[in-house]
A and B are shown apart, each in its own frame.
Chain A
């Protein structure tokens, strides 16, 4: 047991989803200090402010330490649940009775599984699947990750993207504070970013908010919210039609740029093999893309194939982006045409197209320029198309998975087992690589739409990977979709989904009220817990066993020439007497509803647990033994918990192919999304059958800038500003400001204030520090204003994840505002490709009386 241990103990931080290696000092069973583990190649001994503050979360005096039952049947954000302490037996009995009630119709169960700190997410997902429900939420945010992962898996091959800070000389960040305020492997990439800047890499930040990233940049370019795609299309136009900066050999041989598209936009195909056709300029013949005689696939021209006219998709792209001259997009983005031209030219020149570099004796293409984007660009009504042309900027200069370019995280590995991206349909990259054999999110080739059974209408979003943003809409009225049942029960992790996973808080509150029974794990009584019927206490990360310690090991490790690493989490102190490891709770529940063998089978699969370590259906294993078995299965019999306690982390070197796999990939990457036409057509057929008239204009192979509702709203004059969200490094991705040290940071940096452009505020008679009314179409709140010149004049910046109201969070309660609560939630604000909820919302700000 942990209590017998003293001194410095090795484990993994769990204050956010990343999972840095730490050493924790324990005296007489009390944690006295937490430091970074210098042996861990990910964080290299460093920690962020959240991690350092972990001790305060661990010793939170308001922690939930016993199972609780609500005695007030009325639920609401301002209702006192009137908790009553109960035994574990009563808590589990109650949950089992409710599960048994819906056992014959398991789709009535909703599992909110996101808790990426440890194993809980994979365990609850496996339980949900074993129980038989399709309703498993495994993302926290209503926007973040909605586009980047589905795009990355078919256009790069990994989970996320990461600028190659080791070699890049020019890096553009659009709507992201990569390596400065946010992102996986934060403590690693933050140092890499500092070193890259010190060696002369130019950093350009394009964002409505001039925040932390802009403060480190050589240049901050303010952009009107929701116009990222117009900028990207304009830069593409400059590169392809003005300066001629594009990587022709790469486009010809590694993308679908030469595939011939007919008048209807669909590929011309070989009648027998059905493979897409190209024109080989070497011998003047039409061939399939995979013809072994293909030498010089054409990127321009017009070719007759069986009476049809076909043109290379690259030519269609060039013509298309010509509609976005910098002069035209200046009116949309407010970025001067000359600036767009300069940035595009600098980017194109920095890409050094045609150059190579030799690493460990292997000659590789060298493209030291890249564009990165993330949450900011995804959170729009047309989020998919706001992002895709940004990805294309990297693609056209060949800067994908080569030194200096944009890299795909965790895409390929050779140890402790093998995984890699693979080609498939039409010769295109189809299956991304991932260390865990879980179905990765990918927007290619997508699924055939069908009449929905799922309450979140997943069947009608054939390119999306998860769909929870639809739930508050469909549960309010599911008749238009032919659904004739209700979600009745929610099982959830400690993640505060009610504030963090949806928009319009009034709708979300109603959605949670509509659930007949809610049970969840909790460290503190947050807003989601307020709706619980049964609360199950959850250990802190210093008391837990986890084989998965966060995303830095399996999904977002440092890219490039970096080591593979794996660590496990084990308790450094004993949990309070009445606490049980969450895995043990799930095993108990699974056993009693008769799905323990199925749960184990799915866990054996998820964690690749091989003989002789596989979990057997007739046994019950404690969490510690399961982590031990998994570790031994991966790394050998000698690598049990004891080994990890002594050594902390497994480190394995990676070769050139694992570091820069672009040239090794045997598949083409897309510059033209032909399959969107097919899926859009199929979707229209299903929607017509259902009598639904959705706008499917997003289903197009080449992106356009399409405005968000807020763009029109402020032109109509009802509102005059657009609120956007941004991240702080000290609350990003983790347990928030109930921690008193984090709260102090927030207070001292004025993080609880909303940002407003100084001159705009002055014109409204608003001064720095004033309290104002901030009103969106769905919510009106009081906010304190911080005036700055570092924000676009049309934008209002709302940072962090605040606005807590739960009495169980007395430190955080009443501080700052919840950005998500301001967001209208209906189909007009949902991206029809990705299901991202629009995160730029029209607001008005008025002084309080």
Chain B
């Protein structure tokens, strides 16, 4: 065994392939750690950044330099800078800044400073979002206001104002309803801001007032200085006692660059698609080739070992399947199943797996059959039979060990075939569409490519290169294993 390993690792092609395989196995195994997303094609996992964002590191290229990255600021209560006006007391714990307001016009301002290098970027972020949870406890007759500001240098932008519905008529600027006495989520999306809900946009004039939601990132995140603040301000307007629990906000600037591999047309992370796709492709292709080789091995062994009529029948069946154009048949069957809704999406991977396995075992069968024929004629098998070795004994003691090289190589050779066929189906839209695979990444990406959205290389190149690398790795590993494990040297190429 040691010797086998040694001679394996002596081969450069095996070493490189092995390293590639290990790389993909590791990223598939740790996919859940590498990416927070479980299915980037799901609606809730889209739009994590601007669609078609190139990766962060692409800014080293001139055409992407100066683009703002996608940045997320997750503040904690320890970042909070608290100012008070009037009769106010406050405490902080790890989840909330808690203020007690008593008295008319008393006010609690909680601000979170952050820096954003706006002068360095050619563009403002495409959008931003701000989220926090809050609980405002009041008596029903108390008028209270929660105001949210973004402050750039000394200029502040009054984004939204939350007011209990009963009091909303008191204000000249737009307000939003404030639920009191219950924990609620405060969520501001820059794209959702308009002159009806945002005091700042309502204060603008002309077309800016109408397009506020689209413009607002570029109005705020531009120029010097680099110091910014998010400020949540709670104001007691009628003087009744108010307790305010304000969690630290999460601010996300959706830039034009994202992560390791950018985003696709949905604004989903290409990296997480790639990693999840790698996992799927590896699992499916290895499982399928195991089954393919299993079928081929069983039929080939039976035909080769039994010979005679059994062999004639099995061999004719194999020849029959060999004259069938399997790829078109696979595509057509898959397409019939999809078009007639005979299968649900969930089962698609299983259907593909079954169809490929049922239509691809013939080559293995032929190889195993002829190898079994040759082995059967070898003296040690004949001797074993003469000594009264049973069929099973001969099978497992003599045939299988000697076929090991071929079997392992065949498994390795089938993996690329399965990957390519499955990717082809996905590319055509007949395969898996509901979660990422390398094939459907290519499919979507090339569709967007021809839809003239520019060359989204960070999206279209990784899955293709992944397929090539993984396939070639399996091929070279298979060749190396065949050469090393075959007790009777088979001629190898390359």
A binds B: no
* B-binding residues in A (CB < 8 A): none
